[in-house]
Amino acid sequence: MKKCIFFLMLFTCAILNGQSKGDLIVGANSNFSGSISGLNVSPSFAYQVDDTWQVGLTSSVVQYNVYKFDYTNVFVRYYDSRCSYKHRPFLQLHVGTSINDKLFSSGIAVGLTAKLTKWLVFEPKLQLTYSESVLEYGFQGGANVGFGILL
C-alpha cells in the first residue's frame, strides 16, 4: 500500500505544475492525527506572495463527542526557488488558537504542492505540532491532505 501511494504521488508530481505569484487559493484541509476521532475538515485561504512565500489561514469547528472546539491557524510557507514548478515541496510554520478550550499551538510541516489542473491544487503534508491548553500539553504528529481552487 505504501509503495502504491508513493508511486501515485510520484506520477502525479511529475506531470503537474505549481502556483505562481499572485495566486489566491481557496480550499479545504483534512487532518488525521492517529484516530478517527482526530479527523476533521477545515476551510483554507492562502495567498502566493511571490515564487517562494505563501501566507494563509485555516479555520474549523470540530465536534468531539458532546464538545465543540473552534480552531484558527495562520501559516507561512517557504518554497525553494531552485525547485521545478512541476512539483513544489514546501516548509511550513504555523501558529493557532482555540477560544473554546483556551488552546495555543505552533508547529512545523513539510509537504508538496501540485496542480492537478489549471485551477485545482493538491497538497499532502506531514506536521509536528506543540499544543498547550488548560488540561493538557505536548507534541502531536499528523498527516494532512488539502485541495484548493486557484482564483
d(CA 78, CA 89): 9
Torsion, Cα of 115, 141, 127, 87 (10° steps): -40
Q: Which residue has the cell 502556483?
A: 19
User: Is residue 128 scored above 50 in pLDDT?
Assistant: yes
What number of CA atoms fall less than 13 Å from residue 6's CA on the CB side?
Answer: 3
What pTM did the predictor assign?
0.74
Percent of the chain with pLDDT over 90: 24
pLDDT of residue 110: 96
Q: What is the pLDDT of residues 46-81, one digit of tens each?
A: 998 988 999 999 887 766 665 666 778 899 999 987
d(CA 78, CA 84): 14
Q: For 49-61, give the DSSP string.
A: -SSSEEEEEEEEE
**From 39-43, 93-97, 142-146, the region with the lowest mean pLDDT:** 39-43
Percent of the chain with pLDDT over 70: 71
9 contacts 112 by C-beta, under 8 angstroms: yes
Q: Which residue has the cell 504542492?
A: 113
